[in-house]
Amino acid sequence: MLTKEEKEKLERLYQSLAKDERILRLKDIQMHRGSNCYIHSFKVAKVAVHRVMNHKGYNLENVILGAILHDYYLYDWRADHSKKKKHGRRHPLIAEANARRDFNISPEVSEIIKCHMWPLTPHLFPKSKEAKLINYVDDVVATREALTSRRFKKKHLECSLKFIERLFDE
Ligand SMILES: [Fe+2]
Ligand SMILES: [Fe+2]
């Protein structure tokens, strides 16, 4: 179990990233239905933290950073025809290079970002517990988003915004 202090520290990190101007650019990048890159990434962070917060041996700061930066590729692959085809395989390395440029990320966070699309990138196998976790949770969140029907797009967006407001609900 996390202590009150540990939770507060993680919440502070999550909230500071939520307000960071560089991260706010993710709002302009469309993702699956009723979502954008910002919502998607914060959802991955929250779902991942809650999944393992009562397990030992996870670095939850790295989980949060890795999740929020895992799709930090900063281009709209839907709009750019030349990027469409190769996006799936290429974007983890682009996101990692951008994250390294803009944030002082550790090798552990680098690995989380680079390996999040495995097995699509067979040479980038997630080795750490945190990288395996984000690789899995990203799939779960992306699948849920992709399966949202058009009719519920607006409702889904409202629920998602509410969900990502805080890492730990009071
Ligand atoms: Fe991705
Ligand atoms: Fe993702």
Calculate how far, in angstroms, residue 95's C-alpha sits from the geometric centre of ligand 1: 9
Mean pLDDT by 10 residues, the chain (170 residues): 96 98 95 85 98 96 98 88 85 98 97 98 98 98 86 85 94
What per-residue confidence (pLDDT) applies to 136? 98
Q: Given this model, what pLDDT does residue 115 score?
A: 98
Domains of the chain with CATH codes: 4-164 (1.10.3210)
Task: Give 109 Cα–ligand 1 centroid separation in angstroms.
Answer: 14
List C-alpha distances in Å: 126 to 56, 89, 120, 131: 19, 15, 12, 5
For residue 142, how far is its CA from the centre of ligand 2 (angstroms)? 6
Q: Which pLDDT does position 4 carry in this prediction?
A: 95
Separation of CA 107 and ligand 2 centre (Å): 19
Q: Please report, as a single letter, which amino acid is at residue 45.
A: A
What does the pLDDT read at residue 153? 80
* Structure token pair of residue 134: 């984000």
DSSP state letters, 20-61:
-HHHHGGGGSB-STT-BHHHHHHHHHHHHHHHHTTSTT--HH
- What pLDDT was estimated at residue 84? 77
- For position 108, what pLDDT does the model report? 98
| Distance between Cα 151 and ligand 2 center (Å) | 23
- Convert 90-126 into a string of H (helix), E (strand) and C (coil): HHHHHHHHHHHHHCCCCHHHHHHHHCCCCCCCCCCCC
Q: If you measure from the C-alpha of residue 95 to the centroid of ligand 2, how many angstroms do you get, rounded to a whole number?
A: 11
Give the ligand at the shortest distance from the Cα of 120.
1
- pTM comes to 0.95
